Amino acid sequence: MLLPMNIADVIFIQPKRHNDARGWFRETYSFERLSEFGIPRFVQDNESLSVAPKTVRGLHFQRAPFAQAKLVRCVSGAIYDVAVDIRPDSPTFGLHVAARLDASDGCQMFIPEGFAHGFCTLLPDSIVEYKVSRPYAPESEGGIAWNDPALGIAWPVADGVATVSDRDRALPRLAYATL
């Protein structure tokens, strides 16, 4: 089931799970089926493990011409997943959507190009897998401070408690970011 979110083009996906005596089966990606909804073909899969809960990664993005769409899911543990609209001409510029992605239900979030993405782990040993539509290009990477008050994100962790990399702590607020 595909559910639109409060910002156009961001989609929450609830894959159907088929249970039987052996366990269960779930289709996590079908280009044919998802392309009908504007979801592109992906070229790379990424995976991260965050050992401690309350670990924040992001908010990251790639600038054009290497901007990336992402299909994000949590395969172990749970995360609070966030997408911030950074499309300069968008009526929702600077606004965000967020959703809990939990390994137990397999839900996913599609994030189109033009969004910064980040997440906070809610459980220990959370593993996040995400597909991207373009390869990583270091010269095109950018980011926004996860705790920028102008974004109004209700993170499930306070700034002084979150585990954040030095690189992410140094990211600028949206008003000063090079988009």
User: Catalytic one among 60, 80, 96, 117?
Assistant: 60
- Helices of type H across 3-138: 31-35
60 is catalytic: yes
User: Catalytic one among 80, 130, 136, 176?
Assistant: 130
130 is catalytic: yes
**Rounded-to-integer distance, Cα 121 and Cα 163, Å:** 10
- Helices of type H across 22-162: 31-35
Q: Which residues contact 24 (CB under 8 A, 6 or more apart)?
A: 17, 18
Which CA distances in Å does 2 have to 15, 16, 113, 117, 164? 8, 10, 18, 20, 32
Catalytic residues: 60, 130
